[in-house]
Structure 1
Amino acid sequence: MADTMQFDLVAPERNLMSVPVREVRLPGEDGDLSAMPGHAPTIVNLRPGLVTVVDAQGAESQFAISGGFAEINNESVSLLAEIGRKREDMTQDVFDEMMRAAHRKAKTAEAKAASTGAEGVVASAAKLLADMEALGTHIGLDPNSSNFPD
C-alpha cells in the first residue's frame, strides 16, 4: 500500500490545495472521519468545520469549510467545499460572510418547509447554523459579532 494519496480541495473561487497526503480529517455530516491511503471508496456530505490535512512530510494544514462533499477512494480524496479558506486566512469578516451565507440557506430551507410541511428541513437548517457557530467558536471567532438576518 502507498504511503500517500492525492488530495484536492476546491472551493468555488479557487483550488485551495492539491498535494500528496498521508491523512485527511473531515467533518462529515454523520460524524468526523479520517481518510488515509487504501480507504474504501465513499462519498461523504460535509458539515461546517475544519479539514485537517497531513502532508507527505507530516506537516498539518487546516481549512475552514462551510460544507460540501468529499469523494474518497483508495488513492485520492477530492473535496468540493461550498466556501473554503485556509485556517490562517479566517478573519472575523470572512467568518461573518460565511455566517450570512448559512443564514440565507437556513431561511430558504425554512420557507421551503413552510410550504411543504417538511420539518426535517428546518432541523437541518438549525443544525447548519449550530455547526457554523461551533466552527467560529473553535477557531476563536465570535459567531454573534454581527447582526445576521432573522
Structure 2
Amino acid sequence: MDVMEVNIISPDNEIFSGKAHMVVIPGEEGYFAAMLDHAPTVTYLKPGKIEVFADDKIEQGPIFFVGGGFVKVTSKKCLIMVDYIKKINEINIKENQEKIEHLKNKAETETSDLEKRNIINKINILESEIGITKDN
C-alpha cells in the first residue's frame, strides 16, 4: 500500500502523526489531495477541513477543522502546521453561535482597529466551523 507520513502540529503540540494514503487539505487556491510521490509544495492553508484517509479503500481517518496555517508536501511526507485546529466532531454549533454574538457585541464597542480585526478573524473562523460542521 502506498502511504506517506503525515504530521499535523500546532504551536502547543502534535495533533496527528501517522501514515495515510491521502490527505485532503484546504490550500490557498482550494482543496487539494496530497499522496505519495506528490510534487513538492509549500502553501498557505485557508480555513477549512483536513481529511486523513488511512488506506487506498478510502477508509476515512480523522477529520479536522483548521483556521489557517501552512503545509509542506514532499514526495513522502506531508507536514501541516496550523495556528488553530479542532476535530470536526468536537465543534458545538450552539456554543459557536453564542461566541459569535458575544464577539459581534465586543467588536461594536472596540476602539482599536487591530483588536477589531482580531475579533472579526475569530468570528470568521467560528462561522467557518459552523459551515464545515453542517456539510458533514
TM-score (norm 1): 0.65
**Runs of 4+ that moved beyond 6 A:** none
Hey, what does 1:90 align to over in structure 2?
Answer: 91
Deviation at 1:14, TM superposition (A): 1.9
Partners of 2:91 and 2:129 within 8 A in 1: no
Aligned residue pairs: how many?
118
One of 126, 131, 137 as aligned partner of 2:131:
137
Partners of 2:65 and 2:132 within 8 A in 1: no
Rounded to whole Å, the distance in 2 between the matches of 1:29 and 1:132 is: 19
| Superposition CA RMSD, Å | 3.1
Hey, what does 2:6 align to over in structure 1?
Answer: 7
Deviation at 1:30, TM superposition (A): 1.1
| Structure 2 residue 114 is the aligned partner of structure 1 residue 108 | yes
Deviation at 1:73, TM superposition (A): 0.4
Partners of 1:48 and 1:132 within 8 A in 2: no
Q: Give per-residue Cα distances to partners, 1:90-120, cap 9 Å, x unaligned.
A: 22447848xx6xx8xxx53987xxxxxxxxx
Of Structure 1 and Structure 2, the greater strand share is in 2
| Paired-residue identity, % | 21
Hey, what does 1:27 align to over in structure 2?
Answer: 26
AA aligned to 1:45 is: Y
* Structure 1 counterpart SS, 2:36: coil
AA aligned to 2:25 is: L
Structure 2 unaligned segments of length 5 or more: list them. Answer: 108-112
* Structure 2 counterpart SS, 1:83: strand
Rounded to whole Å, the distance in 2 between the matches of 1:108 and 1:41 is: 35
Deviation at 1:80, TM superposition (A): 0.4
Deviation at 1:29, TM superposition (A): 1.4
Rounded to whole Å, the distance in 1 between the matches of 2:70 and 2:22 is: 17
Rounded to whole Å, the distance in 1 between the matches of 2:42 and 2:16 is: 19
Partners of 2:6 and 2:20 within 8 A in 1: yes
Rounded to whole Å, the distance in 1 between the matches of 2:37 and 2:77 is: 9
Hey, what does 2:73 align to over in structure 1?
Answer: 72
Hey, what does 1:38 align to over in structure 2?
Answer: 37
* Structure 1 counterpart SS, 2:21: strand
Hey, what does 1:59 align to over in structure 2?
Answer: 59
Rounded to whole Å, the distance in 1 between the matches of 2:28 and 2:116 is: 19
Rounded to whole Å, the distance in 1 between the matches of 2:12 and 2:96 is: 14
* Structure 2 counterpart SS, 1:3: coil
Partners of 2:72 and 2:78 within 8 A in 1: yes
